[in-house]
């Protein structure tokens, strides 16, 4: 794989990385919840896409609403049942709870779907667009397109609607938002449900070219964390661009170095940002 191919593949994969990182960043930016169960929601979204296609023959892109609804409902359940008491405080107990929930989701998925990796068997997913010496699967192109559209939609929702302004007000100062009549609990519930819906959406398009197994969620969590730190905690566009950077670095490292160590430069990049620019590319120095 040449450098140009690595850059193209990295951008296409990075778009989906950015999509599920947006949800992770949103949960932290609004509620200060470090949701390490986020990868489990991505994994469940992958199974939604897999079974929507294999079991019923539903087109992969048509299954997107099902993934959004399933992720949103799961997010609402997790928030009301577990996370509501930890809003505004990323404590050790909250981190341990999130890790435990991620493990529970993984075990339940293994019981329901089995331990073996599964993938979509679709002729559409195995077709490629050839551009000179480069190529890209139509599945990756479609997934990237969905990621871009979803990112723009979330940006428009947060910056162009009354609900979005309310979310940002609660994120900045929940107590002041309550004084002016905003229901912080309801807004937090909606924001957390949206974060999980985005994770499931990312999973439903990722499974079109990436095999799914119960542990895949934990494998994706470092990407979400690194992309969020690079982009800036709580920044939607930052998380998306952080995902793009992660995808490109990963693919270039795999080409220039070795696939077995492709994540090493990502961890080095994480350390550099934490040391030099801890608020990320699009974050604010005064951010929590």
Reading the block at residue 175, the tokens are 């107590």
- Dump pLDDT digits (tens) for 144-201: 999 999 999 999 999 999 999 999 888 887 778 778 888 889 999 999 999 999 999 9
Q: Give the ranges where the chain is alpha helix by DSSP (H).
A: 3-31, 38-54, 64-78, 92-113, 138-160, 162-172, 174-179, 184-206, 216-231, 236-256, 264-276
Confidence band (pLDDT; 50, 70, 90) for 288? very low
Residues of the chain with pLDDT > 90: what percent? 60
- Domains in the chain, please, with CATH? 3-276 (1.10.3470)
Concatenating the DSSP letter of every residue in 38-93 gives HHHHHHHHHHHHHHHHHTT---TTTTHHHHHHHHHHHHHHHIIIIIGGGTT---HH
- Dump pLDDT digits (tens) for 9-39: 999 999 999 999 999 999 988 888 889 999 9
- To the question of pTM greater than 0.85 for the whole model, the response is yes
Q: CA 46 to CA 52: how far, in whole Å?
A: 10
- Find all residues with CB under 8 Å of 91, minimum gap 6, and list them: none
Q: What is the pLDDT of residue 247?
A: 95
Q: At what angle do helices 236-256 and 138-160 cross, to 10 degrees?
A: 150
Q: What is the pLDDT of residue 287?
A: 44
Q: Is 169 left (phi over 0), alpha (psi -120 to 50) or beta?
A: alpha
Task: Tell me the mean pLDDT in the region 56-80.
Answer: 85
Least Cα distance to 287 among 227, 234, 226, 224 occurs for 234
Q: What is the pLDDT of residue 59?
A: 64
């Amino acid at each position: 794989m040449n450098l140009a191919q690595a850059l193209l593949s990295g951008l296409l994969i990075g778009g989906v990385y950015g999509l599920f990182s947006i949800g992770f960043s949103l949960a932290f930016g609004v509620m200060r919840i470090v949701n390490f169960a986020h990868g489990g929601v991505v994994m469940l979204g992958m199974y939604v896409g897999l079974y929507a296609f294999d079991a019923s023959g539903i087109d992969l892109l048509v299954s997107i609403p099902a993934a959004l609804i399933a992720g949103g409902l799961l997010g609402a359940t997790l928030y009301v049942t577990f996370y509501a008491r930890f809003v505004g405080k990323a404590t050790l107990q909250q981190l341990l709870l999130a890790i435990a929930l991620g493990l529970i989701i993984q075990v339940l998925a293994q019981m329901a779907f089995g331990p073996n990796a599964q993938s979509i068997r679709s002729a559409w997913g195995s077709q490629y667009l050839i551009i000179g010496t480069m190529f890209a699967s139509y599945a990756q192109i479609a997934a990237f397109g969905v990621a871009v559209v979803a990112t723009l939609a979330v940006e428009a929702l947060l910056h162009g609607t009354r609900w979005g302004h309310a979310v940002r007000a609660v994120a900045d100062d929940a107590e002041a938002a309550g004084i002016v009549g905003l229901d912080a609990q309801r807004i937090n519930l909606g924001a957390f449900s949206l974060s999980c819906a985005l994770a499931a959406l990312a999973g439903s398009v990722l499974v079109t070219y990436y095999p799914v197994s119960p542990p895949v969620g934990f494998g994706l969590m470092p990407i979400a964390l690194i992309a969020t730190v690079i982009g800036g905690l709580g920044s939607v566009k930052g998380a998306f661009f952080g995902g793009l950077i992660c995808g490109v670095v990963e693919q270039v490292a795999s080409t220039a170095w070795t696939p077995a160590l492709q994540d090493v430069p990502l961890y080095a990049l994480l350390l550099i940002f934490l040391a030099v620019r801890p608020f990320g590319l699009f974050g604010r120095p005064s951010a929590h």
